[in-house]
Structure 1
């Protein structure tokens, strides 16, 4: 439990920073005079943490979990200080990049460490706790950020990391001091790491620019896309010839690993996108203030860890993971369709649908991770766990970018987004101001009606993406968890014979 406490603190730090700044972005942009660049305060962290996550997994297999996790916490803490002291938007964005480089190791290495210290038959239960912490932090981040900024200043969303990180570092250093380090010699594939980081950064920045309203035909966008594709193509060639590759490509050829990483990608595509789009819908369409919009996410926030807890317990009892993944993947698209057609002002039906969605997502988080860990040998535990964390982060980054891009396109197509906004405002900010400004009631009503139709179309598109998961899970070949009660019973029967 001491180990778990430190690891959950580390995961809390990494997940919280992905969303805690969302609500206070306008305040930050106003104080630092950077409306044009404010979206990068979130994107910089997401891109940086996503890129380095698999690299941290590989390094933890080579150098040991304790050393790599300690480095990650220290880098994250120093970057948090730089964020809190930022005096300009470029300085804050640079500090957020450094924070993401540290935060990328917090989640993946912590989850790999649980794989080292907890047997598989109990791992589902503990991974359920961890998945719950991750999900709650991701969804509660905007609420916490809003209240810190309201009662103190926006800088406290970064200062609050210092005591938490210090406690996590002390606990991790003490609790993991006896954890063994791989005894075999390794050659770290530095060219592969640089190619992977550079190529993926190009693609993620390209998607992020689309989500901010830039045209894919701009010279900068085309250059980023080509550079990203070329970098990843060379990375694949490098990994096939490397003695000790950063990401063993044969690992992705394992059907269980490939399917679980894909389903986790889709889960977090939905989770992070909903954490951004639902509050926006509550405000623009429903007219709710920011704090009420954030609080209306609480049912979804609480249902996710409860679903993860149920999933972990069921895996511990039965040694099976496929039924849990299948149930969650079937229910999730149905719940998202429900969100599309439940009126935003109907609080109780909306609450019920969010609870169902949260439970369905929660069922899939620990079951997908434990299934992946069960399919690989112990010496590849770190990189396999990192691949699942990478899939989640990538799903969140792609989900926000793609769905925001579609939302902007739908709003522009509606015809109500054509009037000029304030200097430095993008389409979403302009629509937000017009819907809540109240200066022209007819214009506000037209904006809300167009926004409601756009959100409905967006949720239906999101549900269509979720339909991929059940078809993949049905192809999953289930193997009883190592050390599970089912396996123990078989062993006992064999011994009796």
Structure 2
């Protein structure tokens, strides 16, 4: 197999030489029939060889039960990581009301997403420094530690820090799981396996809201975090027992790989986004009575200036200094990657703004329980899973992506318009099903944009291209929660002041200010107010939330217009670099290029091969007659899995 180690290969060669020498000697009655066997007992060399082969199995050589144990371990962690991305959406009123910090509740979402965005790219290289098991278990441990700290937190600041620690591992879980799956399966089989993995991902994101609300109503919000710990233990146990395979030796040393990690870029991006979030929080979420243009307060202007300086530092570092920048400069010079990046940012902004504030609408305007508010996110989860599978199936069948995007890319805009028109007296169809086009459309868009990006870059830059798109998407997720929270708090504050402030009485004004502060700091307080005040508070929340949804609607519409610049490309046609490689291989082998080799890029084994056992990554497609296959479809390939040291897909970010 392709993954035999050098020492094992040397041992096999020595054994073969001894066997040949023995075969050439005359055979007598005293000559053993089996070389290396003495009185029914194996020699030391044979034992060492057998142990070496067992201990150094490659990922395609392990037993099926071992492979399934690995998948169960990494998918359990994937489910938990996805769960924690949306879990707090229905916990925000309960948590913020207990700590009286409702105006700071957005940090619970942005802290997790910020850590995921800035530290996820590091795990692609750490997989080759620490090994697959080391990198995966490090990510799981960070996620478990952060989740446990969330459940034990006694104040809002500790809880925010705990969420950040959880995010350090949450993003790494996705990356390491993708790389491990790429090790275990051939390209043809990998699409199905990644499809199953996406089910766990979608299930976690979909159940986060409903499950969090259900547990919060019955056991308290802390148990929504603490009950995850057994699954983290199961994940670590399964990977500890099963994840021991070895990967091919890398041409780069450990120190060389460590030097290629973009530490400066990660820290500059983290500082820039974090400073901007502090600006938004201090300016709009603090509850102070400053006008929108008065930003001369040091606590407001300083974070904004620092954010700008660090962002410029990040750009300069990525363009001119970093050895392997996570924001690949050569992709910034191409139209398609930049357009895809902008689209990913806007789509993620819309998706997370709605996801985090949709349950709040039901809890503060409709006065429902957290359980029922979370259930309203479930249709979005189902539609996302269906949309993702549908997009992959259509691209697999047609080899096209543009028409798919043109039709279904409008669905999120339609959904946000419907959500903006929701009223307390709206019927159940509006309340439950308005969000469905959002999940379906965004799933189709994200799938088609990934395929469009990979179809327009060289094959050996797939990991770099995937990371490029994920970076824009991650920043969009942080902005979706942070910016939406600032908009929500600003309009909520204005509406409450207009409805409760009495300019004719100083005493009444003081009471109103106190009441407004209490409403802003505790979303659950709305249900306990007298009916006349409750109606005004509900109306204020309704207008503020509708503004958030309107901004999300504008974001997804702008994303649709930007995507019009992306041309169609037949997914059956190989990239120029790949076609040149096929032509060169044909010339060297002396074979005439066939029609199929010049018109399609074949991925996977021939129909007669066993998909789960073949090693088609190492076989030149020009040497075998194979049927045509769709390129880059989610049903046939999930290449570009963030393994930046992979010679086949992990090309340099600086060209």
TM-score, reference length from structure 2: 0.66
Per-residue CA shift, 1:236-271, capped at 9, x if unaligned?
222313333343222333433323332222222222
Per-residue CA shift, 1:95-150, capped at 9, x if unaligned?
22221222232234434555666667776666555555444433431321222234
Greater C-alpha Rg? 2
Q: Any conservation in 2 of the 1:29–1:35 contact (CA below 8 Å)?
A: yes
After superposition, the CA RMSD in angstroms is: 3.6
2:528 is matched with which residue: 424, 434, 437?
437
Does residue 406 of the first structure (1) align with residue 494 of the second (2)? no
In the TM superposition, residue 421 of structure 1 has moved relative to its aligned partner by: 4.4
In the TM superposition, residue 333 of structure 1 has moved relative to its aligned partner by: 0.7
Does residue 197 of the first structure (1) align with residue 270 of the second (2)? yes
Per-residue CA shift, 1:420-470, capped at 9, x if unaligned?
34597463746x633x2351x233333334443444444333212111222
2:86 is matched with which residue: 15, 19, 41?
19
User: 1:182–1:203: structure 2 CA closer, same or farther, 3 Å change rule?
Assistant: farther
Q: Any conservation in 2 of the 1:205–1:224 contact (CA below 8 Å)?
A: yes
Q: Which residue matches 2:429?
A: 348
Does residue 52 of the first structure (1) align with residue 52 of the second (2)? no
User: 1:260–1:10: structure 2 CA closer, same or farther, 3 Å change rule?
Assistant: farther
Q: Which residue matches 2:170?
A: 103
Task: Give matches, 1:71-82, under 5 Å.
Answer: 71-82=138-149
Q: Which residue matches 2:607?
A: none
- In structure 1, the residue corresponding to 2:499 is in which secondary structure? coil
Does residue 389 of the first structure (1) align with residue 496 of the second (2)? no
Task: Give matches, 1:98-497, under 5 Å.
Answer: 98-111=165-178, 114=181, 129-171=196-238, 174=242, 177-180=245-248, 182-184=250-252, 185-186=256-257, 187-188=259-260, 189-209=262-282, 212-213=285-286, 217=295, 218-239=297-318, 240-344=320-424, 345-377=426-458, 380-414=461-495, 415-416=498-499, 418=501, 419-421=512-514, 425=518, 427=520, 429=522, 433-434=525-526, 436-439=527-530, 441-481=531-571, 490-491=596-597
Q: Any conservation in 1 of the 2:278–2:303 contact (CA below 8 Å)?
A: yes
In the TM superposition, residue 20 of structure 1 has moved relative to its aligned partner by: 1.6
Q: Any conservation in 2 of the 1:325–1:364 contact (CA below 8 Å)?
A: yes
**Cα distance in 2, alignment partners of residues 493 and 220 from structure 1:** 60
- In structure 2, the residue corresponding to 1:416 is in which secondary structure? helix
Per-residue CA shift, 1:376-399, capped at 9, x if unaligned?
456544443334333333222211
Higher helix fraction: Structure 1 or Structure 2?
1
User: 1:48–1:377: structure 2 CA closer, same or farther, 3 Å change rule?
Assistant: same
Aligned residues: 491
TM-score, reference length from structure 1: 0.84
Q: Any conservation in 2 of the 1:54–1:387 contact (CA below 8 Å)?
A: no
**Cα distance in 1, alignment partners of residues 563 and 419 from structure 2:** 24
**Cα distance in 1, alignment partners of residues 402 and 186 from structure 2:** 19
Per-residue CA shift, 1:57-81, capped at 9, x if unaligned?
4545776655433321122223333
User: 1:482–1:235: structure 2 CA closer, same or farther, 3 Å change rule?
Assistant: farther
Q: Any conservation in 2 of the 1:6–1:172 contact (CA below 8 Å)?
A: yes
Q: Any conservation in 2 of the 1:53–1:386 contact (CA below 8 Å)?
A: no
**Cα distance in 1, alignment partners of residues 357 and 539 from structure 2:** 16
Q: Which residue matches 2:637?
A: none
User: 1:27–1:292: structure 2 CA closer, same or farther, 3 Å change rule?
Assistant: closer
Q: Any conservation in 2 of the 1:122–1:316 contact (CA below 8 Å)?
A: no
Moved more, 174-183 or 277-286: 174-183
Q: Any conservation in 1 of the 2:110–2:481 contact (CA below 8 Å)?
A: no
Q: Any conservation in 2 of the 1:76–1:100 contact (CA below 8 Å)?
A: yes
Q: Any conservation in 1 of the 2:411–2:438 contact (CA below 8 Å)?
A: yes
**Cα distance in 1, alignment partners of residues 359 and 409 from structure 2:** 24
In the TM superposition, residue 170 of structure 1 has moved relative to its aligned partner by: 4.8
Per-residue CA shift, 1:355-380, capped at 9, x if unaligned?
22221122123333344344445654
**Cα distance in 2, alignment partners of residues 396 and 451 from structure 1:** 23
**Cα distance in 2, alignment partners of residues 115 and 489 from structure 1:** 30
Q: Any conservation in 1 of the 2:115–2:167 contact (CA below 8 Å)?
A: yes
Per-residue CA shift, 1:207-258, capped at 9, x if unaligned?
4555635667242232222112212212222231333334322233343332
Q: Any conservation in 2 of the 1:411–1:417 contact (CA below 8 Å)?
A: no
Q: Unaligned 5+ residue runs, structure 2?
A: 1-66, 502-511, 580-593, 601-621, 626-655
**Cα distance in 1, alignment partners of residues 562 and 101 from structure 2:** 43
Per-residue CA shift, 1:145-181, capped at 9, x if unaligned?
2222343343332233333233434555645834446
**Cα distance in 1, alignment partners of residues 124 and 437 from structure 2:** 33
Per-residue CA shift, 1:258-291, capped at 9, x if unaligned?
2333222222222222122222222333232322
**Cα distance in 1, alignment partners of residues 562 and 217 from structure 2:** 45
User: 1:208–1:350: structure 2 CA closer, same or farther, 3 Å change rule?
Assistant: same
Q: Any conservation in 2 of the 1:41–1:92 contact (CA below 8 Å)?
A: yes
